Amino acid sequence: DAGVIQSPRHEVTEMGQEVTLRCKPISGHNSLFWYRQTMMRGLELLIYFNNNVPIDDSGMPEDRFSAKMPNASFSTLKIQPSEPRDSAVYFCASRPQGVGELFFGEGSRLTVL
């Protein structure tokens, strides 16, 4: 079975540019999470969805960040405009119904110059 698929795996962009990260969760999973990992702040939950509906976006750093889940098989995390401090690895994870473990993608490494 395919796991969580993220794209792109690596993105290098310049400050001020728009960045879109994509995630395809595991089929049948009801919950989707976006995390950001940095050396300084560790693994931070940005936002999560249940049944395509955003439940908690309190971790989204500021208005430059937005996330959507138009259907059960696709989600995007957008940063506009990007800044150097947004450089991090962004992980998408999905989970079946309930409170079990998360299944992580391999991450998207973002570098903003």
- For position 50 contacting another protein by CB under 8 A, the verdict is yes
Pairing status of strand 5-7 against strand 103-104: unpaired
**CB of 11 or CB of 107, closer to another protein:** 107
- For position 34 contacting another protein by CB under 8 A, the verdict is no
Find the angle CA(104)-CA(110)-CA(112) to the nearest 5 degrees. Answer: 160
Q: How far apart are the C-alpha atoms of 67 and 61, rounded to whole Å?
A: 12
Report yes or no: 16 and 72 within 8 Å, Cβ to Cβ.
no
Task: Write the interaction track for another protein spanning residues 53-72; mark x where CB under 8 A is met and - where it is not.
Answer: --xx----------------
Residues that bind another protein in the complex, under the rule CB under 8 A: 4, 31, 33, 42-43, 45, 48, 50, 55-56, 91, 93, 95, 98-107
